[in-house]
Amino acid sequence: MRHALAVLGVFATVSGALEPALAQTPSLAGTWKLNAEASDNPAEKLKEATSAAPKVKEGYGSTRNRVGAGRIAGEPGGDRDAAAGGGGGASLPGVDFGRVMHPAAQITIEQNDSVLSIRDDRGLPQIIYLDGRKFEEPTGGAEPKQTTSKWKDGKLTVDRKLGSLGSIREIFSLLAEKHQLVVEAKLTSPQLGKTVEIRRVYDAQT
């Protein structure tokens, strides 16, 4: 009898340890609408980063900020276009940076044990493998895009290495009590003065 009770006790302990582990992989599936008021303004964040870029002297000690792809603040297409993240002076080229700088109004996430996909109305879905593998995609350049992901403490971290363009890290988490999805993005690029951090908040759609 004592032996049986001991076995039950061990089983209960193991089961209790498994519950938090299972809770670390919540489902992000659903349709989510961007909450612009609760989210950061990407243009303002980019402007802050480009203002931290190296400055160049321009006669008699005057300086101007170097921003974007070799442009200087005050030149045509300089700080205005760089802050917008688009146009002739785009600081962050490429589809992946574009998704962060100009997020879709609504996204749909589908998820199973091994794959998560994010769809919007702008093109092909983003495919994220949840088993830890490194996924490579051609970019048209010499270096492929590499994507990896991992779960930790109930949050999904997705890292994208974009070759010479830079990298993007996005951390997905749920605010269950508010029925919201939060995405914390960190953008790095040789064209920026510092890492850009942009927070997006989505409301669940029923």
CATH of the domain at 139: 2.40.128.20
CB 198 within 8 A of CB 45: yes
What is the percent of the chain where pLDDT is above 70? 68
Q: Is residue 119 part of a domain?
A: yes
**With 60 as the cut, is the pLDDT of residue 136 above it?**
yes
Count of structural domains, the chain: 1
pLDDT digits (tens, 9 = 90+) for 37-60: 999 999 999 988 877 655 544 444
Query: What pLDDT score does 116 carry?
Result: 97
Q: Is 164 helix (H, G, I), strand (E, B) or coil?
A: helix
Q: Is residue 198 part of a domain?
A: yes
pLDDT digits (tens, 9 = 90+) for 151-178: 999 999 999 999 888 999 999 999 999 9
Q: Is residue 157 part of a domain?
A: yes
Query: What pLDDT score does 4 carry?
Result: 47
Q: Is residue 4 part of a domain?
A: no
**With 80 as the cut, is the pLDDT of residue 122 above it?**
yes
* Beta-bridge partners for 148: 159
Q: Which phi and psi angles does 117 have, rounded to 5°?
A: -125, 145
Q: Is residue 17 part of a domain?
A: no
Q: Is residue 30 part of a domain?
A: yes
**Closest by Cα among 156, 133, 136 to 144:** 136
Range of the domain at 160: 26-41+92-205
Nearest-angstrom CA–CA distance, 159 and 152: 13
Q: Is residue 71 part of a domain?
A: no
Q: Is residue 52 part of a domain?
A: no
Q: What's the mean pLDDT in 109-123?
A: 94
More confident residue, 70 or 120: 120
CB 135 within 8 A of CB 129: yes
Query: What pLDDT score does 53 carry?
Result: 57
**With 50 as the cut, is the pLDDT of residue 82 above it?**
no
